[in-house]
Amino acid sequence: MKLATKHLLTIRELTTEEVLGLVARALELKQGWPKGFKPRPLTDKAVAMIFEKSSTRTRVSFEIGVSQLGGHPLFMASRDMQLARSEPLRDTARILSRYADAMVVRTFGQEVVEELATHGSVPVINALTDKYHPCQVMSDLLTVHENLGDVRKPVYAWVGDGNNMAHSWLEAAARLGFELRLACPEGYLPDPEILGHAQTSGAKILLTNDPAEAVEKADVISTDVWTSMGQEEETKKRLKAFSGYCLDRKLLEKAKAAAIVMHCLPAHRGEEISEEVLEGPNSVVWDQAENRLHMQKAIMEALMED
């Protein structure tokens, strides 16, 4: 499939059919790899990977994904680029567009990926910003599909910070129309514009301060660290604010018995999720992490295939 959009900066840029199509294609790539068919749509193509934030899963899954599709990944930490010497982003976008066939960007501000997309001439993929994490939530939808079938039918619960993951879940709900409940403490709520867009999309959105209310009879429960990269100075304040938000056995028991538990990793065991739940029978965290590889291949194929 070929996407109508040139870039993937947010899930909002995708149509409902494209979201479902990417999930289906990622599953095909997963089931067909490594035996049998090996599509190579990135043969002789280079992907510039600009990382201002360190990473394990994002870097490894994108690098291996590019290689499996026949392309060449070029990893660039910001400290190794002229960005470290304040070269304008628009100049970086123009130059990299003449060398590479796409840019994968993991950074802080959403404005960075937007400016690269505006001034570059090749696809830009948002591998994470402080505002959105579209590739993660798209791969999480693949995980839901594998375990529960139609991704539009389950009841989804988010427990924790109203962060980039919560924002991308809101955009997924807006596109697919599923029920999404978010439990976030006061002071850590999602962006009002993103929340409002989802609430007016036809999706059933609940915002609460009570994790138990969000999780009640839910099919899918997701969480994330309480202190993200770049927020380390807020750790003590956040630990206090998020008291009672740990996804433990007691909270999980309020969900459906067959509910699946997801965490985008890395996990702080005993904070946002207990060891018992993370390693328990409801957890699909390791499949979820693997699915980053397959979804990102589907996204790159859809954006870059001639």
Residues labelled catalytic: 106, 133, 136, 224, 264, 292
Alpha-carbon distance values, 206 to 56, 178, 190, 216 (Å): 32, 11, 12, 12
Q: At a CB cut-off of 8 Å and minimum separation 6, what does 163 contact? A: 130, 188, 224, 228
Is 97 a known ligand-binding residue? no
Is 27 a known ligand-binding residue? no
Is 185 a known ligand-binding residue? no
Is 182 a known ligand-binding residue? no
Is 199 a known ligand-binding residue? no
Is 107 a known ligand-binding residue? no
Amino acid sitting at position 300: M
Is 56 a known ligand-binding residue? yes
Is 134 a known ligand-binding residue? yes
Is 82 a known ligand-binding residue? yes
Is 306 a known ligand-binding residue? no
Please check whether residue 107 is in contact with residue 52, taking contact to mean a CB–CB distance below 8 angstroms.
Answer: yes
Is 246 a known ligand-binding residue? no
Q: At a CB cut-off of 8 Å and minimum separation 6, what does 17 contact? A: none
Would you call 172 exposed, middle or buried from its count of C-beta atoms within 10 A (0-12, 13-18, 19+)?
A: buried
Distance from C-alpha of 231 to C-alpha of 246, rounded to nearest angstrom? 19
Distance of CA 57 to the CA centre of its chain: 11
Angle at 230 between CA 75 and CA 57, to 5 degrees: 40
Is 265 a known ligand-binding residue? yes
Is 110 a known ligand-binding residue? no
Helices (H), the chain: 16-32, 57-68, 89-99, 110-119, 134-148, 164-176, 192-199, 211-215, 235-241, 249-252, 275-278, 285-304
Is 288 a known ligand-binding residue? no
Distance from C-alpha of 129 to C-alpha of 283, rounded to nearest angstrom? 26
Q: Tokens 């879940």 map to which residue?
A: 169
Is 184 a known ligand-binding residue? no
Q: Which of 86, 87, 107 is nearest to 96 (CA)?
A: 87
- Binding site membership for L-ornithine: which residues? 164, 224, 228-229
- Binding site membership: which residues? 55-58, 82, 106, 133-136, 164, 224, 228-229, 264-265, 292
- Binding site membership for carbamoyl phosphate: which residues? 55-58, 82, 106, 133-136, 264-265, 292
